[in-house]
Amino acid sequence: MDMTGNTILVTGGGSGIGRGLAEAFHHLGNRVIIAGRKSDVLAEVVAANPGMASHVIDVEDGAAIRGFAAAVMAAHPGLNVLINNAGIMRAEDVTVTPYDLSDAEAMIATNLLGPIRLTAALLPHLRAQARAAVLNVSSGLAFVPLSMTPTYSATKAAIHSWSQSLGHQLRATSVQVIELAPPAVATDLMPGSRSNPNAMTLENYIAATMALLTAHPEATEILVEPVKRLRGAEASGAYTAVFGMLNPA
């Protein structure tokens, strides 16, 4: 992936990792468009980063995605990079009767169907660019789940698998597919996430990720050091130990 000269759409760009990536690419001179559900939050980010643009979209709303994609392409015809970052993480207790599926269904719609739908809507446009990229944000929990967030972990495992297949199918095209798999990062993704003593700071995560993208422009997977234990747990034979570390009995 080229680090400059792009027009980049970042979903979930109003906060957390999305905002961090958007600002990092903006500072490199890219044209950056952030998207999210809250217009006031997006406006705040744009005001802090002159030249950045924003569009409102809730990626959980499948019916709205195609119209949103058309509007973005019309306003930004040079669009050549999509960062599928928008996501929600909610704890679930499957032992409660009845088991309320509303959170599970919202996470599947946002974290999995959202990236699939938006990529499908933009892919013909991206393939027409001389060089393009789709960056999918998964999670270390794609490889070792956190049992209190079963559906979130499952959606990220699915994004990992989908990214591999997407990249393979597009291998002969101009579109590069890159998976970003963050470890725990100190954001507001869930209550308590920002104060988690084991979480990587957002600033350090963004800096490390940008450094890896710069150093490895043809990479298909970006893994900062703290996530490697999760990513390699099964291959190294440490899966049971790592699962137990995340999910104490």
Give the torsion through C-alpha atoms of 119, 123, 126, 131, to 10 deg. Answer: 90
Residue 164's closest CA among 131, 130, 136, 184?
136
By annotation, the residues acting in catalysis are 152
Beta bridge partners of 200: 185
